[in-house]
């Protein structure tokens, strides 16, 4: 069987510099500009001498915050953006870059992986708009595991499972190919190794470095493969219901995996080091104990029909399993309640009702 695919590798400089972020950041920023605007909360763990600061950062990049950040870039005549923080800081820098063309140096302090992608997102009036544009891909990413030590184990887990969702979605996303699938599978291996080590030793660097490596591989795979079913659902839940980004990914992942698993189950199982991908994922969840129900994140069950209506038109047409409104509704109701996704369902479909006595947690 001959291989036929087209793969695009994104141009980006990636620097792993444990314990050296401040010095490396100064050098990398100077390569791109002389008047940096640093975007990050006032608790950002690394600073840049002489840089102007914008500290208003919020999840899902509200349009009004983006407008103020663009104004700050103009006021300070910035010629380079520096984002320090999680996906929210990176995302805000991306939206500014989208309209200004300014280059970005990203210093991630979580495992979101946004820094490896040309995907931007912004929320206005309860609707999250996303897009892909080469201008928003950070020119340089500086990874320093020491900067993640202040991230509690629970938040580290949720953030790392967000990265894991990038890997899983990349296996069947619209532009999936053997190269980005290989990155995704290596990302799974790094994350399944790193996350339990963070839980066991929150103050250790080894697990956090492995998780950062996994997050980068996940982001690179997702950037190339595109957004699959899982991310389409999460974007709607974030924009419409305001659910926390990483935790939403963590809750939803097992349900989308159960729905699509047969498409790449054997390769995913090998990456998880388990008999099946679901078995490997649930073993990881048993050790890391992430949130497991959308209702615990603030979603109202009465909002599910509106979420279904918003997701259905954006379902990738190449999803390996056809998706109907009934499928989405059943998937979301199960995720809302926290039903066990591994429990055998009546007709093998995720939408069937939970069996008697099924533990909803």
Q: Is the pLDDT of residue 358 over 80?
A: no
CA dist 209 and 290 (Å) reads 20
Which residues are within 8 A (CB) of 13 and not within 5 positions of it... i.e. 6 or more apart?
28, 139, 140, 141
SS3 195: helix
pTM of the predicted model, to two decimals? 0.88
Q: Which is the CATH superfamily of the domain at 155-337? A: Dehydroquinate synthase-like - alpha domain (1.20.1090.10)
- Cα–Cα distances in Å, from 299 out to 43, 159, 358? 29, 19, 21
What pLDDT, in 10s, does the model give residues 138-195?
999 999 999 999 999 999 999 999 999 999 999 999 999 999 999 999 999 999 999 9
Torsion-angle region of 18 (φ positive above 0: left; ψ -120 to 50: alpha; else: beta): beta
Q: In the prediction, which pLDDT does 343 show?
A: 65
Query: In this structure, what DSSP letter does residue 122 have?
Result: E
Q: In the prediction, which pLDDT does 9 show?
A: 84
Q: In the prediction, which pLDDT does 112 show?
A: 86
Confidence of residue 351 (pLDDT cuts 50, 70, 90): very low
SS3 304: helix
Q: Quick one: CA dihedral 156, 157, 159, 164, positive or negative? A: positive
Confidence of residue 211 (pLDDT cuts 50, 70, 90): very high
Domain locations in the chain as residue ranges: 13-148, 155-337
- Spell out a b/e string for 101-128, using b for 16 or more CB atoms within 10 Å of the CB, else e: ebbbbbbbbbbbbbbbbbbbbbbeeeeb
Q: Assign a CATH topology to domain 13-148.
A: Rossmann fold (3.40.50)
């Amino acid at each position: 069987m001959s291989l036929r695919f087209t793969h695009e590798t994104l141009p980006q400089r990636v620097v792993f510099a444990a314990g050296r972020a401040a010095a490396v950041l100064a050098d990398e920023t100077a390569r791109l500009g002389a008047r940096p605007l640093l975007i990050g909360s006032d608790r950002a763990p690394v600073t840049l001498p002489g840089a102007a600061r914008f500290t208003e950062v919020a999840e899902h990049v509200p349009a009004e915050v983006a407008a103020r950040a663009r104004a700050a870039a103009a006021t300070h005549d910035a010629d380079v953006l520096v984002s320090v923080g999680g996906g929210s800081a990176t995302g805000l820098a991306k939206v500014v870059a989208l309209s200004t063309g300014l280059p970005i140096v990203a210093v991630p302090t979580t495992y979101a992986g946004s820094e490896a992608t040309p995907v931007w997102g912004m929320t206005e009036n309860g609707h999250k708009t996303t897009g892909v544009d080469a201008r928003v891909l950070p020119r340089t990413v500086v990874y320093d595991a020491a900067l993640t030590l202040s991230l509690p184990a629970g938040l580290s887990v949720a953030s790392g499972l967000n990265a894991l969702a990038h890997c899983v979605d990349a296996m069947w996303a619209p532009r999936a190919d053997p190269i980005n699938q290989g990155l995704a599978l290596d990302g799974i291996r790094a994350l399944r190794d790193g996350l339990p080590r963070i839980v066991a030793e929150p103050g250790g660097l080894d697990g956090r470095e492995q998780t950062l490596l996994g997050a980068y591989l996940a982001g690179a795979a997702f950037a190339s493969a595109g957004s699959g079913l899982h991310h389409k659902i999460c974007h709607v839940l974030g924009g419409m219901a305001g659910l926390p980004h990483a935790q939403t990914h963590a809750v939803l992942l097992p349900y989308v995996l159960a729905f699509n698993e047969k498409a790449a189950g054997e390769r995913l199982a090998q990456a998880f080091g388990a008999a099946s991908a679901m078995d490997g994922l649930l073993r990881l969840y048993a050790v890391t104990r992430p949130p497991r129900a959308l209702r615990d994140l603030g979603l109202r069950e009465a909002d599910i029909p509106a979420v279904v209506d918003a997701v259905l038109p954006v379902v990738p047409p190449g999803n390996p399993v056809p998706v109907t409104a009934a499928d989405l509704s059943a998937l979301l109701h199960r995720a809302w309640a926290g039903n066990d996704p591994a429990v055998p369902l009546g007709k093998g479909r995720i939408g069937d009702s939970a069996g008697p006595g099924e533990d909803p947690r």
